[in-house]
Amino acid sequence: MKLEGRLWQLGNVFTLVVVLLSARLVFWIMVQGEALRPVTPSLAAADAYLEALRSRQGAAGDEVATSGNAFDQLPQPVIQRTVDLLSTIARGVIWDRTGRPVAMDLPASDGGWMRFYAEPSLAPVIGYVSGIRAGISGLELTYNDTLLGLDRLDAQLSQASHQPSQGSDLVLTLDSGLQRAAEEALAGHSGAVVVLDAATGAVLAMVSAPRFDPNLVLDQTYLTNLAACAAPSCQGVFINRAMQGQYAPGSTFKTLTLIAGLDTGQVTPATIFDFGQQLSGPDGPYYVYAVGGGVIPDPNHTESQLSLELSYAKSANAAFARIGAEMPPAVLIDYAGRFGFSLPGDPAWRLELPQAAPQLALDLQTLTTNDLLRASTAIGQGELLADPLTLALVVLAVVNNGDLPLPFLVEAVRDPAGNVLQTEPARRVVTGLMQPATAALVRSMMITAAEKGSGRPALVEGLIVGGKTGTAQVGGDLLPHAWFIGFAEGTERKVVIAVVVENAGQGHDVAAPIFARLADMAVRRLGTPVAEVVPRPDGTATGANTPVAPAVPAPDLPRDPKKLEVVTGPGACPGGYVGPVGTGQWVWPVDPPYRLVVGDDFTPVHPGVDLGANTGVPVYAADAGVVVFANWTDIGYGNAIVIDHSNGFQTLYAHLSQVGSACGAPVAAGGLIGLAGATGNVFGPHLHFEIRVPGGFVNPFSYLPPN
C-alpha cells in the first residue's frame, strides 16, 4: 500500500476515534449529566430525588426527612445547581383569554428573573412559584415543565449548554373581567364562584375567597402576619374553595336526586306528592316527612299537594326526602358516583388542579340500612359534602343532554415564537351520565324553579335562566351556607354557574343575585377590558385611575402614505376593534437598562427610536389600547405589533423575536406584548419604537417619562 493510502486510512481511524469520543462525551453530558449532577426544577423532581436518596440511605440507617416542602429538604449542592439552571430560563407567560398577560417574568435587580402576577384574583387558580421559581401550586405547578420549556427539545438543548432559554406560554380560558367581577360580587364574604362555558366546559372564572396575594407570598413578613391573623379574611387562603371546599350542598343536591329518580323511572312528571297534615310552629306552618324513626321538616311551601316539577321549584323537602327513602340505595350511590361522590379513589377524570373528592356519606354502607340518612342525603343534608365545581358538573351534564364536557383551564400552549404546540390539552368528554330525555326534563324543571320558585332573584331579562337555590344548615348558631347552581342562555353563549357564600343566609337572598349579576356579564359582556390595579415592581403600571386623554398633537415628522404602512398592509388585522382608551400617561416599553438609544435616533428618515433591548427582553405596551397589527411585515420591521390607543395615538414595536399578542386583544399600559429581537432589516437586537399620530410621527422622547 502506498504512503498516501496508509495516511488516508490513518486519518479515517483518527476521525472515527474522535467521533466516538465526542459521542461518548455528548452522551455523558446530555444523557448521564442529570444522574451525575442532579437538578430538581419541579416538586415532582424534588420528591423523586428525595425518595431515591431515602432508598439509598435507608440501608445505612440515615433517613431523609419525610415532611415539609421538598425543596427545603434538598442538599445544598442540588439546590444551587437547580438555581443556576432556572436563572437561565425565562418562565413562560400566562395569558387570559383576551390576550392580557396575568403572570409573567420580569427582570430582577440581581440580573435574574422575578415572577409578577397582574391579576391577584386568579391566585387560587394560577398558584405561585417558589424562591427558585419552580411551580408550587395551581397551574404554575401543573404546567411547571411546560412553563420552563423542559418538555421542548430546543429549550432542552439550550439548557444542556447553559444558554438562556424561554419557557412555553399558556393561554387560559379564563376572562379577567369576569374573574374580577366574581370576586367583587362575593363582597368580602368567604365562598367560591365557578363559571363554565356550557358548550365546551371551558372555565371562564373560578374565584375562591379569601385568598392569598401571589406577589407577596414569598415575603416572610406577609406570611408571619397571615399566620397570626385570626379574622375570617385570613382563614384558608391557600385552599381553592371552588374545587377543594367541602360544604353541605343543601337543596342544590335535589337536582341530582331528581336526575336519579327520573332516569330510573321511580318518578315521572305526572308524579304528585301529598304532604298530609300541616303543622304549626314558632316560625310558621310546615309539613313533615316521617322516616326511619325521625322526621324531616318541610317549611318551604304551603300547598298540601305538589307535582314533581313544583316540588322541585318550591324545594319541597318532604317530596325529595320521600324519593330518597324509597330509592334503592345502590341507585343513589351509583348516580352520585357518576359525578365523583365517594368514589374509591380519584374520579375517572383528571382535572388540571387538585379537587377534593365529594362525600356522599361517611360510610356508604350506612345508606343501605339507614332510611333517615338516605332521606336526609336526598335533600342535601345528612353527611354530604361537595365543592362548587362538582355541583356545576351536574348542571353542565343536564344542559349537554346527559354528556359531560369536563372543565379545563388551558386553551392553548404556545412556544416563544407564538406557535401553538397544543390546543385544549386537558379537554375531554364523559358520555351517558343520564338519558337525553331525563336531561331535557330536568332542564325544563330548573327553568320553572327560576321562574316560579325560589330562584326568581337569579332571573336576567332577555336570558333563559334555570337553576336551584340551596340553604345548607351547618349547625350551632352559624348562619347556613347560601347556594345557587344554574345555567343562563342567550344569543351569544350559554354558561353554567355555581355560587356558594359561607354562613351568609338564604340561597335566594344571597347567592341567586350573585348568579344573575355574573350571568349577564358572562353571556353578554365577556371580554370587557379591565384596568390594571397592581403596580409593577418597577413602578411603570398606571393603576386604575384614568386621566383625561391628551389632545392629539401635530406630527413632528410627516408620513408618506405610500411608505411604512403596516396596519393596512400584508398580514393586517380585520379591524373594527373596540378597546380601552389610552390615558396619555406613557410608560417605557422596556425595562432599565434597555432605555438607551443604540442605533438610529428620531430623524426624518427614521421616525422612531432604537432602544438597546437584547433578544428575549420583555416589551410592554406604552399605554392602554387594542392591538391592530400583530404579524410579520415585509417592509423592514420584521415581527411587529401596532397598538391603537383610541385617542388619536398609535404605537409600533418592531424587530420582535416573539409576538406575544393578537389582533383585537385589549392591552393595558405596561402589559407584556412580546419579546425584543433582531428580525427584519436590522444590524443587531434592539426594539424599534414609534409613536404615530394622524399624518405622521412624534418624537417618543417627548412623551416617555424621565428615564
Please state whether beta strands 113-117 and 429-430 pair in parallel, antiparallel, or not at all (unpaired). unpaired
pLDDT for the residue 262: 98
pLDDT of residue 234: 84
pLDDT of residue 348: 58
Query: Is a pLDDT exceeding 50 seen at residue 428?
Result: yes
Residue spans of beta strands (DSSP E) within 354-409: 404-405
> pLDDT value at position 490?
94
Of 3-12, 41-50, 115-124, 392-401, where does mean pLDDT reach its minimum?
3-12
Q: Are strands 696-698 and 557-558 parallel, antiparallel or unpaired?
A: antiparallel
Bigger pLDDT: 230 or 323?
A: 323
Greater pLDDT, 645 or 552: 645
What average pLDDT does this structure show over 399-418? 92
7 CB burial (10 A radius; 0-12, 13-18, 19+): exposed
User: What would the mean pLDDT of 236-254 be, rounded to a whole number?
Assistant: 95
Predicted confidence band of residue 11 (pLDDT cuts 50, 70, 90): low
- Averaged over 208-233, what is the pLDDT? 90
Q: Is the pLDDT of residue 561 over 80?
A: no
7 confidence band (pLDDT: 50, 70, 90) = low
pLDDT at 547 over 50: no
| In the predicted structure, residue 625 carries a pLDDT above the cut 90 | no
Write phi, then psi, for 482 (nearest 5 degrees): -95, 125
**Model confidence at 569: pLDDT above 80:** no
Averaged over 653-668, what is the pLDDT?
A: 89
pTM: 0.72
| Residue 551 banded pLDDT, cuts 50, 70, 90 | low
For residue 31, the model assigns a pLDDT of 44
Span 298-323, mean pLDDT?
Answer: 96
Average pLDDT over residues 420-437: 92
Q: How large is the average pLDDT for residues 461-489?
A: 93
Q: What is the spatial distance between Cα 156 and Cα 103, in angstroms, rounded to a whole number? A: 23
Dihedral, CA atoms, 372, 377, 381, 385, nearest 10 degrees?
A: 140
Angle made by CA atoms 315, 321, 322, in degrees to the nearest 5: 115
- Per-residue pLDDT tens over the stretch 46-101: 777 777 777 766 544 344 443 446 777 777 777 777 777 777 788 899 999 988 89
What pLDDT, in 10s, does the model give residues 381-399? Answer: 999 999 999 999 999 999 9
Give me the pLDDT at residue 452, please.
Answer: 94
Q: Do 434 and 230 touch, CB atoms closer than 8 A?
A: no
Residues 336-361: tens digit of each pLDDT: 999 999 876 555 567 899 998 899 99
Q: Is the model's pLDDT at 589 over the cut of 70?
A: yes
The yes-or-no verdict on residue 35 having pLDDT over 50 is no
- How confident is the model at residue 328, as a pLDDT? 96
Q: Can you give the pLDDT at residue 66?
A: 39
Residue 541 scores a pLDDT above 50: no
Count of C-beta atoms within a 10 Å radius of residue 547: 9
> Residues 278-305: pLDDT tens digits?
999 888 899 999 999 999 999 999 999 9
Check whether the bond before 593 is cis (ω within 30° of 0): yes
Higher pLDDT, 688 or 161: 688
pLDDT band at 246 (very low <50, low <70, confident <90, very high): very high
Note the pLDDT of residue 36. 44
**DSSP per residue, 219-284:** -HHHHHHHHH--SGGGTTTTS-HHHH--B--GGGGHHHHHHHHHHTTSS-TT-EEE--S-EEETTE
The cell numbers describing 572, all together, are: 393586517
pLDDT tens-digit readout, 501-539: 999 989 889 999 999 999 999 999 898 888 888 877 755
Residue 332 has pLDDT above 80, yes or no: yes
Q: Is the pLDDT of residue 628 over 70?
A: yes
- What is the β-pairing status of strands 169-172 and 94-95? parallel
Average pLDDT value for the chain: 86
Q: What is the largest CA-CA distance in the chain?
A: 120
- Are 357 and 387 in contact by the 8 Å Cβ rule? The answer is no
Q: Nine-digit cell at 686?
A: 434592539
φ/ψ region of 576 (left if φ > 0, alpha if ψ in -120 to 50, else beta) reads: left
Q: Of the given ranges (21-25, 177-181, 551-555, 697-701), which has the lowest mean pLDDT?
A: 21-25
State the pLDDT at residue 106. 84
Tell me which of 84-93, 172-181, 433-442 is least confident: 84-93
Check residues 679 and 132 and name the one with the higher pLDDT.
Answer: 679
Q: What is the pLDDT of residues 673-704, one digit of tens each?
A: 999 999 998 889 999 999 999 889 999 999 99
**pLDDT class of 417 with cuts at 50, 70, 90:** confident
CA neighbours closer than 13 Å in the CB half-sphere of residue 395 = 33
Residue 495 carries which side chain, given as an amino acid letter?
V
Task: Supply the pLDDT for residue 298.
Answer: 95
